[in-house]
Amino acid sequence: MTLQEYDYARESPSKLAASCLLLALTMKNLGGWTPTLEYYSGYCSQDLHPLVKRLNFLLTYQPRDKLKAVRTKYSQRAFFEVAKIAPMDMLKLEEKLKSC
């Protein structure tokens, strides 16, 4: 979804990927940012928090009529319907990120 938004073009692809992973781990209650993830990604959890919040906010947007192909694709069963997962409440996300 970030490919459709110019605001994310300035972010490095590795930081964007790491932030997406942290958001997914947080949304699914699969744990936080581990020392292993920090070592291999090169990012500590606190470096990712602002981008994670922006990504979660991006998920709250309803798709525009012309730009809904990504949501449609990832709403299919073959992709585990991940586009249908509700974004986290921002306050809950803040709490969980503080504990990472």
CATH number at residue 10: 1.10.472.10
Q: Which two tokens stand for residue 82?
A: 């991940």
What domain range includes position 78?
2-99
pLDDT of residue 26: 94
pLDDT for the residue 64: 65
Residue of 38, 54, 47 lying closest to 1 (CA atoms): 54
- Ranges of the chain with pLDDT below 50: none
**pLDDT at residue number 69:** 83
SS3 state of residue 9: coil
Residues whose CB is less than 8 angstroms from the CB of residue 46 and which lie 6 or more positions away in sequence, other chains included = none
Q: What is the pLDDT of residue 59?
A: 87
pTM higher than the cut 0.75 = yes
Domain count, the chain: 1
Whose structure tokens read 């979804």?
Answer: 1
